[in-house]
Amino acid sequence: MSAKERGQYSAASSALGYLYQVRYALLESLRRLRKGQEFIVSIETLDDVVFEKDGDAPELLQTKHHLNRPADLTDSSPDLWKTLRIWCEAIGADGFPQGTLYLLITTAQTTDGQAAHYLKPGDSRSPDTAMERLNSTADSSTSQANAKAYQAYRSLNQDQRKRLLQNVFVVDAAPTISDLDTELKEVAYGFAAKKFLESFLQRLEGWWYRRAIQHLVNDEAKPILSEELDSETASLREQFKEESLPIDDDIMSATVDASGYQDRIFVHQLRLIEIGNGRIFHAIRNFFRAFEHRSRWIREDLILIGDLERYEDRLVEEWDILFHQRRDELGEEASEESKKIVAQTLYKWVETATHPQIKPGVPEPSISRGTYQMLSDSQRVGWHLEFKERLRQLLENQESAS
pLDDT for residue 55: 66
Main-chain phi, psi angles of 112, to 5 degrees:
-50, 135
Please say whether the beta carbons of 363 and 377 come within 8 A. Answer: no
CA atoms within 13 A on the CB side of 312: 21
Cα 317 to Cα 36, 160, 276, 350: the distances in Å are: 48, 77, 27, 13
Task: Work out the mean pLDDT of the chain and round it to a whole number.
Answer: 90
pLDDT for residue 95: 72
Give the residue-averaged pLDDT of 353-364: 96
| Whole-angstrom distance, CA of residue 141 vs CA of residue 151 | 11
pLDDT for residue 171: 93
Give the residue-averaged pLDDT of 39-68: 82
Percent of the chain with pLDDT over 90: 72
305-330 and 277-299 helices cross at what angle (nearest 10)?
150
Nearest Cα residue to 296 out of 255, 341, 246, 343:
246
In which band, very low, low, confident or very high, does the pLDDT at 45 lie, cut at 50, 70 and 90?
low
How confident is the model over 174-200, as pLDDT tens digits?
988 889 999 999 999 988 888 999 999
The pLDDT of residue 3 is above 60: no
pLDDT for residue 214: 86
How confident is the model over 304-329, as pLDDT tens digits?
999 999 999 999 999 999 999 999 99
End-to-end CA distance of the chain: 56
Q: What is the SS3 assignment for 263?
A: coil
Please say whether the beta carbons of 143 and 194 come within 8 A. Answer: no
Give the residue-averaged pLDDT of 122-131: 95
How confident is the model over 136-169, as pLDDT tens digits?
999 999 999 999 999 999 999 999 999 999 999 9
Give the residue-averaged pLDDT of 237-247: 93
Nearest Cα residue to 301 out of 200, 204, 199:
199
25 or 67, greater pLDDT: 25
